[in-house]
Amino acid sequence: MTRGEGRLFDGYMAVDWSASGTPKTGPDSIWISFRAPGDSEVLENPATRAEAVDRIEALLARASGVGHRILCGFDFPFGYPAGTAQAITGEAGWTPLWRRIAALIEEGPRNSNNRFDAAAILNASFPGEGPFWGNGLKRDIAGLARTKRKEGWGESLPANARHAETQVRSAQEVWKLNGVGSVGGQALTGIAALERLRHRCGAAIWPFETLGDGTAHVFAEIYPSLLEPAPGDMPKDARQVTAVTDRLARLDAQGDLARHLAAAGAMPLAVRTEEAMILGMADPEGFRSGGDTDPVIHRGDPAPLTYERDPAAIYRQSFATIEAEADLSALPEAARPLAIRLIHACGMVDVASDIRLSSGAVEAGRAAVQRAANTGTASAETLPIFCDSEMVARGIIARALPAGVSPVVTLNDTSVPDLAKRLGTTRSAAATELWRARLEGSIVAIGNAPTALFHLLEGIERGWPRPALILGFPVGFVGAAESKQALAERPHGVPFVTLLGRRGGSAMAAAAVNALTLGLGGDGT
């Protein structure tokens, strides 16, 4: 699918971030609004930053899998006043500072983090108390004051405010870590998260980087308070991110979003290389009102919408359409239900020609499930289905799993970040190390990270236990095609199903598992 004429993006995301130290939903927590082509808004409220990043990454991977480009707005500062990077890292510019922050910030699986201690370490690069302030912990932290320093701003310290805060007066300073309106903790935890995420999904960071060849996702700093959210019963944060994605979509449809992005070119060099800016701050009134004209003109009362409402009928018609339109003749009979579910998950019948599987792969997977069904109990796991992301696990239809068969995700295990550092690889790859003890005879479903598949293959070739089946569907532009080619061609001796090329994703990996447990039945409820 191609984006509409004149549009820069196919979809829009807005994220209201939180530095909370415990899992939290509702007001003052993380909210994600996502609008994809032809879809209604997806509004989610993950309880932790780890869950939020996994969900954002999954949404972007799915978009990449179908050639869509997403503009993602994040409600925290992307930079610090000019001179901060030089003082802390010895280098000018945003990239060394982002790397330094990402190296310092540690996140636990339930939102615990070390932002106050990290700020104290950063303060040590400056004379005296340093610019970060607002220790919100009960214990004292050497190098992090509880109150704001009164002197030195713009002299021995960087300025108190970025250019952005001088233009948007209600925006808070980046140094404040605690108290009403504090965004300093959000900036530290948010920048650390985006530094890792941008490398995994190949995103460009605006305004620091160009928009590239028109295919890369773009991350931008937003300030939802520039817009007035619609009234409603939902928390204000939720209504604000909804207002942002609606505004971005309207601006892009009217051809005005490009002007707001291009405004970075007229900003001071420090803004473009270190401080960052808020999308829309160069023309707040135009950002608020631009794109208000609805391009669709309705005349008279619209005709009633006619559509299928019966879920069982929807599945029957979908599968029948796929069987009529897709060429499955090259696939063995046992693999055709799996191929149909893969096509159903992505909507593209041409993927049938890119499916590759070893002889007897589907039978091997079904046999593993059947063995577990014959021996498993509700209290004892007999067959783990190892998933590289929460998105894969959540797409597996739980009611179809026999007792003792369950999805297992180790990505958010507390040991994984340190393990990844020690191994010099991604968290997704490091997480596969935790599968090893139970890998023998298991099912592996990879729908996100090529590095997870590469690392698994390396382990098996070094003598790791062998799973009963590998379902390899990583998606993206860096390593996805290569990892699946390796799965299909290397002599690892493990039954496999994969999809050659860049396409794939969590939905397809989950669909492959569902084909093993359900075939083409059992969905219509």
**Helices 311-325, 336-346: crossing angle, 10 deg rounding:** 110
Residue 145 DSSP class:
B
Give exposure, 323-360, as e/b (b: 16+ Cβ within 10 Å). eeebebeebeeebbbbbbbbbbbbeebebbeebbbbee
One-letter identity of residue 313: A
Neighbours of 407 (CB within 10 A): 20
Whether residue 68 lies in the annotated active site: no
For the record, the structure tokens of 136 come out as: 């919100």
Beta pairing class for 218-221 and 405-409 = unpaired
Residue 297 DSSP class:
P
Whose structure tokens read 């890119």? 354
Return all residues near 199 (Cβ < 8 A) that are at least 6 apart: none
Q: Which residues pair with 220 in a beta bridge?
A: 73
Q: Which residues pair with 57 in a beta bridge?
A: none
3-state secondary structure of 34: strand
Residue 207, preceding bond cis, omega within 30 degrees? yes
3-state secondary structure of 457: helix
Report which secondary-structure segment, H or E, holds 405.
strand 405-409
Report whether 11 contacts 36 (CB < 8 A).
Answer: yes
3-state secondary structure of 293: coil
CA angle 276, 280, 286 (to 5 degrees): 160
- Tell me the Cα Rg of the chain: 25
Report d(CA 128, CA 142) in Å as an integer: 11
Report d(CA 334, CA 503) in Å as an integer: 23
Whose structure tokens read 């990996």? 509
CA 163 to chain centre: 29
Tally: H helices and E strands in the chain: 19, 12
3-state secondary structure of 202: coil
End-to-end CA distance of the chain: 30
Catalytic residue among 217, 344, 455, 492: 344
**Burial category of 97 from C-beta neighbours within 10 Å (exposed 0-12, middle 13-18, buried 19 and up):** buried
Catalytically annotated residues: 344
